[in-house]
Structure 1
Amino acid sequence: MFKKAAVFAVTCGALLVGCSADPQAENEEIISNLLEAGFPADDILIADDAVYVGRDAHVTLEASREMLQATSESPEQYRTTNLVGTGVTKICVNSTAAFDSYTFLSQGLDLAIANYNERGLRITFARGPATGCTANITAQTTTGTGGSAGFPSGGLPYGIINIGTGLNSYSADVNEHVITHELGHAVGFRHSDYYNRSISCGSGGDEGDAGVGAIHIPGTPTTAVVGGSIMNSCFRSTETGEWTSSDNTALDYLYGGTIPSCSSINFTSYRGQNGTQIRCSCPATSSGTVWGTDLYTDDSNACAAAVHAGAIPSTGGTVVAVIQPGQSSYTGTTRNGITTLSYSAWDGSFSFQLPPAQSCSSVSFTSYRGQNGTQIRCNCPATSSGVVWGTDLYTDDSNACAAAVHAGAIPSTGGNVTVTIQPGQSSYTGTTRNGITTLSYSAWGGSFSVSP
């Protein structure tokens, strides 16, 4: 993967058979096998005596030979990428000392590993050194601002990802994006825009298909768009590093596993593994013993805590719990129909990844009347006006974003807020705060308060 408009330096440009930069017989066989498998000659490149297709996917001799072998897999699999076998359950990514010396490369690797683990796949990743590895990948540095990897072979992921040190001048999110992308190649993904690299790169053509090069994954789009997938050929400086919905579909189709029940997980056994993400499922939940707010003691009922946090509704769902350090104290509150308890010091905690905030303007807060304590997380654009009645407690037909600015929960430039449903009041007093003037009103049937 390379930054848009960046140049991939090779010794002989687009490789044709017999290019003088490839004197080794092994590479000649790889090239011959790729051509026979259906890759066009102008998609095959050589750099540092290694053969690549699609500009960043390294092909070994063994992998090229496997491309010519008959397969028992369904035609709905990635034919040329030789998927990772079921015998691989834990892939350890071992970074070199040189790699670790680059702050954003190192942070990006941690974030990329978390990307895969949060999906609850049959394969998990761990940053080495670690125990229980059934396969290993080395993360090492290379020059430039891109990366490269290769396809799986023999049921194992490709063993190396090369990440350009120039990426250290980009954000951790961009590094996360590129490393997630290269790990994607290592476990068997082709570029989502393989048929037209100009979609994400601004130039370039078809990497080659011929019915075997890049088989479509059911449920995913057949056309690529800029920003539509982590597996686009080129990246932008604005990448967030997060999976898109089609990426998630592809991952779940190829490597999806059974998501464990949260009740089957002993969260206390993860103490000290701060930042570890655990994806698990919850049934409908309306009660359970929980200590804390947002950060919960690690012996709390995880599903009740997830409802309290707003990670799932009371009807249940899938959550991502994040292991956190122990706290000196925990505060109990009532949210979303769950009342949690306060506690003193405890040795371990967990929190939850929350779903993206919806637009506050799309929520009818009056429909929540009577559900006092229920919290709705939503997002506000820049707001400098809006009709609002009350101060601190607002009528539930008020403009929530203007109320949030008035309350000091967000600046006028906008942001995410938590709206808490409250009982109706006998009267509401208007005031002027933070550039917003609210109105007074008499009795009203429902209210809300707002907080960051």
Structure 2
Amino acid sequence: MFKQTAVLAVTGVGLLVGCGGMDPRMENEEIISNLIEAGYPANDIRVIDEAVFVSGDAHVTLQASREMIQTPPGSAEHYRSTNLVGAQVTKICINPSAAFSSSPNLSQGLDLAIGNYNALGLRFTFARGPTTGCSATIAAEISTIRPENWAGFPSDGLPYGSINMIPAMNDQPLDINEHIITHELGHTLGLRHTDYYDRSISCVPPYTGVEGDEDVGIIHIPGTPTTAVWDGSVMNACPHIGSTGEFTSADITALNILYGQSATQSCSNVNVAAYRGQTGAQIRCTCSSGGGGSVWGTNLYTDDSNICTAAVHAGVMTTSGGAVVLEVQPAQSTFIGTNRNGVTTSSYGAWGGSFRFIGAQVPQPPPLCSSFNIMSYRGQNGSSIRCNCPTVSLGASVWGTDLYTDDSDVCAAAVHAGAIPSTGGQVSVTIQPAQGSYASTTRNGVTTYSYGYWSGSISLSP
């Protein structure tokens, strides 16, 4: 067992064999050359089992090393030592292996680490997988080849693809698991050790030494401390037995500067249709005002709708503007227009993509069934319309039983079908094809008529 004052020497490095068409030895030579050109001191670079690491626990891929010696066009930032996650990443899914999930402290530690990041309201969210809508994925693995925990830096605008924990972590306190998983996820986002210049601040031998000077391989994040202290950051090189796993105020400042809402893109620049197929992906953007563009739908909006106008309609933003989070949804067969919050949206039929907003929008009843021309939906067989019957005229004209002609009174037919009581309610109207005949029956106080062939039908359900 660790003594109370002991430092946990478990944030080291591990194995990842080089991949791609290049010989691993030649690949590593290029990585090392790139790191030195980027300003990393040679004594901070280690080759372990054909993989290159810096700072003890950060694996560097060939692509990441190449990005470190480039300055993006039009950017004043230098990504020489800390590559960043691109704006296209809105939902990062962490997929634990079966062994990871079956280790209680590691599994719970992952959930707590995810909660740490999501509580900050960054421009991306973390989600535990498997799930949908992922614009980037990170595998959470048990590393049995080397006796240290490790991760790596981003490349191609994506977070590093794995965090790797040793089995012995499951025997450590839950707070320690939370701390180290949060720490390794920080590396996947591009964060370096805060005590890079003197790891003895948080570590005991043999995990001490210097990782380099600020001018050679370390980019200071403006607004954060330039000196490290014991317990001053979850990104200190080593945790200790008293670590809580929570972000410090300096950590929160750093993450907000790099990935906070202040850096969020304008909604006017977001093309939601480009995200088709990424159902569940979340996009954070800002509106300078409520906008005035066209919107189709209610709660679910066509993906060519004006985001800011739709946000006001949905009740997640006022006309004065603000930040919103929208979630990509699949194609819909019908979009219903309504009037809410001073915005009138239009109805539409089938469309290839949609979105909804994440937020505390006030639930609204669907539009009145009497406002629809059901016959106009002929041919959209199987599509459904959700509508509301506040009152029901039991004597209204209805033809058929179970399947009704599409010129029947929807609310009276819904009572006859048992979908709603005679006092009214919400009902789903499903478009059905033509029928050769319609039978007359009496049910629930409603008597329907019989009829021969008719070109369109409906069925009703609660």
| TM-score, normalised with respect to structure 1 | 0.52
Q: 2:182 is aligned with what amino acid?
A: T
Give distance in 2, aligned partners of 1:226 and 1:75. Answer: 32
Q: Which runs of 5+ in 1 are unaligned?
A: 12-21, 261-349, 351-452
Quote the residue 1:252 is aligned against: 256
CA gap of 1:9–1:255, structure 2 versus 1, over 3 A, is closer
User: How many residues in Structure 1 have an aligned counterpart in Structure 2?
Assistant: 253
Deviation string for 1:398-425 (max 9, x for gaps)?
xxxxxxxxxxxxxxxxxxxxxxxxxxxx
> For 1:285-296, what aligned pairs fall within 5 Å after superposition?
none
Q: Which residue of 2 aligns with 1:118?
A: 119
Task: Give, in whole Å, the separation in 2 of the partners of 1:9 and 1:122.
Answer: 29
The equivalent of 2:41 in structure 1 is 40
Local SS of the residue matching 2:170: helix
1:206 corresponds to 2:206: no
Determine the C-alpha separation between the residues in 1 that align with 2:236 and 2:76: 22
SS of match in other structure, 1:234 = coil
Instruction: Give 2:153's aligned residue.
Output: 151
> 2:103 maps to which residue?
102
Greater CA drift, 133-142 or 195-204: 195-204
Q: 2:88 is paired with a residue of what secondary structure?
A: coil
Partner amino acid, structure 2, of 1:168:
N
Partner of 1:24: 25
Residue pair 1:146, 1:167 contacting (<8 A) in 2 also: no
1:76: how far off?
Answer: 5.7
Aligned residue type for 2:242: T
Distance in 2 of aligned mates of 1:138 and 1:28: 27
Distance 2:139 2:214 in 1: 32
Q: 1:130 to 1:73 in 2, by over 3 A?
A: farther
In 2, Cα distance between the equivalents of 1:124 and 1:41? 36
Q: Could you say what the CA RMSD is over the residues aligned between the two structures, in angstroms? A: 3.0
Counterpart AA for 2:169: L
One-letter amino acid of the structure 2 residue matched with residue 229 of structure 1: S
2:7: which partner in 1?
4
% identical aligned pairs: 61
Work out whether residues 177 and 240 of structure 1, in 8 Å CA contact, stay in contact via their aligned partners in 2: yes
For residues 223 and 10 of structure 1, the distance between their equivalents in structure 2, rounded to whole angstroms, comes to 24
Question: Which residues of structure 2 form unaligned runs of 5+?
Answer: 1-5, 15-22, 265-359, 361-462
Judge conservation of contact 1:78–1:189 (CA < 8 Å) in 2.
no
| Match in the other structure for 1:238 | 242
One of 224, 229, 233 as aligned partner of 1:220: 224
Matches of 1:76 and 1:8 in 2, distance apart?
28
Q: For residues 268-323 of structure 1, what are the alpha-carbon distances to aligned partners after superposition, in whole Å with 9 as ceiling and x for unaligned?
A: xxxxxxxxxxxxxxxxxxxxxxxxxxxxxxxxxxxxxxxxxxxxxxxxxxxxxxxx
Q: Tell me how far 1:96 sits from its aligned partner.
A: 0.5
What amino acid sits opposite 2:9 in the alignment?
A
Structure 1 residue aligned with 2:182? 180
* Change in 2 beyond 3 A, CA 1:222/1:210: closer
Which residue is equivalent to 2:321?
A: none
CA–CA distance in structure 1, aligned partners of residues 24 and 109 of structure 2:
36
Q: What's the CA shift for 1:4?
A: 3.2
1:136-167 deviation line (CA, Å, top 9, x unaligned): 00010114774211110110000011111111
Letter in 2 for 1:211: D
Cα shift at 1:208? 1.7
Partner of 1:93: 94
One-letter amino acid of the counterpart of residue 131, structure 1 = T
| Distance (whole Å) between structure 2 residues aligned to residue 5 and residue 205 of structure 1 | 16
Cα distance in 1, alignment partners of residues 218 and 119 from structure 2: 26
In the alignment, which residue of structure 1 is the partner of 2:55? 54
Contact conserved, 1:75 with 1:215, CA < 8 A, in 2? no
The one-letter code matched in structure 2 to 1:95 is: P
Shift of 1:9: 8.2
The aligned runs of 1:395-410 (5 Å cut-off) are none
Conserved? CA contact 1:44–1:54, under 8 Å: yes
Deviation at 1:62, TM superposition (A): 0.5
Q: Distance in 1 between matches of 2:108 and 2:79?
A: 30
User: Residue 163 of structure 2 contacts residue 184 of structure 2 at CA under 8 Å; is this kept in 1?
Assistant: yes
* Shift of residue 71, structure 1, vs aligned partner: 2.9
Q: Secondary structure at the match of 2:33?
A: helix
User: Aligned partners of 1:38, 1:173: CA distance in 2, in Å?
Assistant: 35
Q: Does the residue aligned with 1:178 lie in a helix, a strand or coil?
A: helix
Per the TM alignment, residue 49 of structure 1 is displaced from its structure 2 partner at its CA by 2.1
Partner of 2:164: 162
> In structure 1, what is the Cα distance between the partners aligned to 2:157 and 2:9?
33
CA deviation after TM superposition for structure 1 residue 211, in Å: 2.1
AA partner of residue 246 (structure 2): E
Q: Does the Cα contact within 8 Å between 1:82 and 1:153 map onto a contact in 2?
A: yes
Deviation at residue 247 of structure 1 after TM alignment: 0.3
- What are the equivalent positions in structure 2 for 1:215-364 lying under 5 Å apart? 215-257=219-261
Q: Distance in 2 between matches of 1:73 and 1:219?
A: 22
CA distance in 1, matches of 2:254, 2:200: 22
Report the Cα offset of residue 200 of structure 1: 0.7
Say whether the 8 Å CA contact 1:176–1:241 is kept in structure 2. Answer: yes
SS at 2:202 equivalent? helix
Kept after mapping to 2: 8 A contact 1:104/1:170: yes
8 Å CA contact retained: 2:136, 2:159: yes
1:72 deviation in Å?
4.0
Shift of 1:79: 3.6
